[in-house]
Amino acid sequence: MKKLIYILFLFIGFSAFAQEEKPLVQFSGVIYDVDSNTVVPYVSITNISNKNSAFAANYKGYFSFVVQEGDSILFTSIGYKRFEIVIPTNLQDRKFTAIIKMKTDNISLPMVRVFPWASVEEFKKEFLSMKFADDDYEIAMKNLSKKSLMELSANLPRDGMENNAMSFGNLHRSLGNQNMVQNNPLLNPFAWGALIKQIMDGDKKRNK
């Protein structure tokens, strides 16, 4: 009699355990950004209902692992809001595929101002000794000064227009002087006479 009661209780315990055991489901899917519709890689996936079992999506946002019906699955990633999904029950194929769309989480950080001065006194000292940059008028006056223009004229090479003007001027002078006879002063007797007269006048001045 005792053995029969023990077997009965054992059968009831196994039946209750079998009823509490939820069916296994192959959970697969791809994770996308809801705004840009691009995949979100390496998302952390946690099964909250099964002792916080951890999984991760690959670099293409794809994941696949085994869960139980009714489990709560949490998706987390840096820069995105937490997303949670519950596995449906009474699935015929024991498979569940989902497209997870995560939304970016904009975090407003407080403003940080970085100053290169250790104290207010150093800031005042640097401010008083600060040299202000020239405005547009001062810069234009320096660029148009005589010294600046002379330096530019001496150092900058001629452009095409200047070379053309110089070549045209040389050609014009050569054409204008081609019919002119250039006299050689060594063959001019009047020049020799003037030279001799100058020499003699110089000797007379020395004698006096």
Cβ distance 95 to 25 under 8 Å?
yes
- pLDDT for the residue 14: 47
| Domains with residue ranges and CATH for the chain | 22-102 (2.60.40.10)
Q: 42-72 pLDDT, tens per residue?
A: 999 999 999 999 999 999 999 999 999 999 9
Nearest to 105 by CA among 25, 39, 48, 35: 35
Q: Kindly report the pTM of this predicted structure.
A: 0.46
pLDDT at residue number 205: 57
For residues 88 and 189, which has the higher predicted lDDT (pLDDT)? 88
Reported as a pLDDT band with limits 50, 70 and 90, residue 207 is: low
**Tokens 């998302």, residue?**
43
87 Cβ contact partners less than 8 Å away, ≥ 6 residues apart: 25, 27, 67, 68, 69, 70, 71, 72, 73, 96
Short-list 43, 41, 50, CA closest to 68:
50
* Contact in structure between 81 and 67 (CB atoms under 8 Å): no
Confidence of residue 1 (pLDDT cuts 50, 70, 90): low
Nearest-CA neighbor of 40 among 104, 107, 106?
Answer: 104
pLDDT at 144: 85
